[in-house]
Amino acid sequence: MNCTPGNTEGDGSDRSEGRDGPRYFDHSAVGWLVGEAVRHLNGEGKEAELAYQRAIELLRAREDTSEEIMQASRRVVHDDIGMRWSLLHVLGDIGHARTAGFLVEAALARLPEHDPKMGCEGPRDNEVLIATMAVEALQRVAAANKDAADMLLKVVDARPARPILVEGVKAAVALGLRERLREVLPKEDHWMIDLRRARVEELHAEPEREDGKERGFTPPRGRDLHTGPSLCGCHHHKG
């Protein structure tokens, strides 16, 4: 079973490339550039990483970028989870303050009811994945624009589903909003303020082996955390 949304090549990778599926980005020059950013975001190797950074630099310098991406997000087929996730990620990296309201809406969008028959790959799980990426993107926007920090607190104050609320609290803590969180959160939820995001380097593990051969866990490169979402094993990447 293929559980990598946005992958159309059947290679098991977490990819959502602008050239695959519906052509969302062909109608304008800035749209093409957005498509290139999405494609390289989900690419592999140093060349893709550099190309992505160049695309982000060019998009950040344009006044029409944010509106283009928000409009593209509305055109994307709802079931194209990989593309929706990627566009939110790109918005966060561009960091325009005007996107904060859009990201709040994405973070607080109504979630489908959980269907136990769907396991960990149902519509609700997909939408939680999208909402948490919206929170992470909003954190990056707020880091670049202090006035957007209140929008992150708005997500927390709305009391969304627990996974989204926890991500919102961690994002706010990362921005130095710990004391304001104590005012927004009920006392029974203050434990969330002490949670933190572990870096990949801290997750090194060396499982015991009986064949005499060492086999450690090699953490992925930092940017690989930004590839498209995977629902296998009921987990997702974090930026």
pLDDT digits (tens, 9 = 90+) for 179-222: 898 888 888 878 888 875 544 444 344 444 444 443 333 333 34
Helices and strands in the chain: count of H runs, count of E runs:
9, 0
Please report the pLDDT score of residue 32 as a whole number.
92
Q: Are residues 131 and 185 in the same domain?
A: yes
Q: Which of 189, 152, 150 is nearest to 171 (CA)?
A: 152
Residue 17: pLDDT above 80? Answer: no
Same domain, 122 and 80: no
Residue 214 lies in a domain: no
215 inside domain: no
Range of the domain at 178: 95-198
pLDDT band, very low/low/confident/very high, at 19 (cuts 50, 70, 90): very low
The predicted-structure confidence for 121-160, as pLDDT tens digits, reads as follows 678 999 999 999 999 999 999 999 988 999 999 999 999 9
90 found inside a domain: no
The closest alpha carbon to 20, from 9, 29, 30, belongs to 9
Domain membership of residue 216 (yes or no) is no
Q: What is the pLDDT of residue 195?
A: 73
Alpha-carbon distance of 181 to 2, in angstroms, equals 40
Compute the distance between CA of residue 126 and CA of residue 227 in angstroms, rounded to an integer: 15
Angle between helices 100-107 and 149-157 (to 10 degrees): 20
Same domain, 70 and 108: no
Q: Which residue has the higher pLDDT, 76 or 119?
A: 76
pLDDT recorded at residue 229? 52
State which of 198, 217, 232 marks the end of a domain: 198
pTM of the complete model: 0.73
**Number of domain units in the chain:** 2
160 and 74, same structural domain?
no
Write down which residue in 45, 64, 84 finishes a domain. Answer: 84
Task: Return d(Cα 150, Cα 233) in angstroms, integer.
Answer: 34
Report the Cα–Cα distance between both ends of the chain, in Å, rounded.
Answer: 26
Same domain, 100 and 76: no
The reply to whether 209 falls in a domain is no
Report yes or no on 152 lying in a domain. Answer: yes
Kindly state whether residues 193 and 138 are assigned to the same domain: yes
Asked if 42 and 16 touch (Cβ cutoff 8 Å), the reply is: yes
| 7 in any annotated domain | yes
